[in-house]
Amino acid sequence: MADVDLAIIGSGPGGYVAAIRAGQLGMKVACVEREAVGGVCLNWGCIPSKALIRHAEVLSTVRHADAFGITTGPISADYAAAVARSRKVVDRLTKGVAGLLRKHSVEVLTGAGRLDGPGEVRVSGADGERALSAGHVIIATGARAMTPPGIETDGQVVVTYREAILQERAPERVVIIGGGAIGAEFAYIYRAYGAQVSIVELEPRLLPREDEESSKALTRALDKQGIEVLTGSKVAGVSVAGGIATVSVETPDGPRSLEADRVLVAVGIRPNTEGLGLEEAGVRTERGYVQVDADLSTSARGVYAIGDVTGIMPLAHVAQAQAVHAVEHLAGLAPQPLDYGAMPRAVYTNPQVASVGLTEREAQERGKAIRVGKFPLLANGKALALGEQDGLAKVIVDDATGELLGAHLVGHEVTEMLGELSLTRLLEGTDAELGAVVNPHPTLSEAIKEAALAAGGQAIHI
């Protein structure tokens, strides 16, 4: 008899959701966590960063209150108070997750877990070691920040998101290495608190995996906010002396030397697979990422992997979807296949960037005959009323069938509108069906309808 039906290594968004779903199905579950319940997302990533972004939004609104006929006096912004509130949000959510695990009788074991043979997990913690036998194992150990060769972080001046999210002082000058989601979000936060911000991105544009028009729209918005964006540029070196960093950058216009009191390295992630005993257990990896099939099974019998450690689509909500699928599969159910093309993507700058499915270039590279529909938020009544008219809605549809292949949004709180598009993509909906949806008026969501109508030359308000 195994000690538990399911042992899960890692309690991030994938791990804890897997534990709860397994508990719902009547399994005896143990979840191994070496740091904090909720993993990076709840403790040092998604949640605290969104709290800080909210502070930045409020600060920006107050600073531009005169546009709404409101006169303010001198404005004082306490960044340490923003960080303190973000930690309160984290504390509340992590306690909530811990409570849900207790509710479903999940045993949480504090320590580092590793595979120690078929169906065997060894947990090493402050109280010693414990051997745990399990019917199935799920690896949900996530990933951590990657640091490029030649750049060393010190946790104070040169940092990753992990240190930055806890620092209680906003920098006066900051260089952000990497123009992906993390880099863009921190750029917005720091700029709102008055920092001089430069983003250095190796690729020709920000958010290189997003649609080109979304990248251009975000770059324009950040430029208006006073954020310097250096694309097609490479960091040649970083040196620190007296608490000041000098960043040497090779740009298309020649070398630049940027001084800053903080350098944020945000160039990607690497999987947490060291010390897990994967090779000995017969779990195949590639470039460090655990390889899985469509049901999240690894090459080792009874062992599954979910979330960032698989490298498939490193997003918290994808990890959660994988968690439910893996648990239901190992329980003998028949879960609906995961459609990664219907998984939404979100960047929480201001304006926000949201997308699902293919970019226009990806559709073209796949040989698709497409139609494209666009609608600018400048023509949307709600956006104008909010004073948030920067951005657009864009849909890409199959020319013959009208099936929605991809959708891209830039604008205020557009991430909240992704559900409508994800559902359309999941159900293989068309531009005609999306255009037939009656959206409430006035709302930002009307821009989606108009973009869909525009794909067929039927947009009403432009």
Positions marked active-site: 441
Neighbours of 80 (CB within 10 A): 11
Look-up of token digits 């990933």: 143
Q: In whole angstroms, what is the distance from residue 191 CA to residue 198 CA? A: 10
- Residue 64 Cα to chain centre, angstroms: 29
Non-local (6+) Cβ contacts of 214 within 8 A are 207, 353, 355, 394, 408, 409, 410
Question: Which uninterrupted H or E stretch holds 43?
Answer: helix 39-44
Instruction: Give start and end residues of each alpha helix (H) in 354-417.
Output: 360-365, 381-386
Name residues whose C-beta falls within 8 Å of residue 240's C-beta, 6 or more positions apart in sequence: 154, 157, 158, 246
In angstroms, the CA 397 to CA 431 distance is 7
Pairing of strands 269-271, 285-286: unpaired
CA separation for the pair 36, 94 (Å, rounded): 8
Helix (H, G, I), strand (E, B) or coil at 303: strand
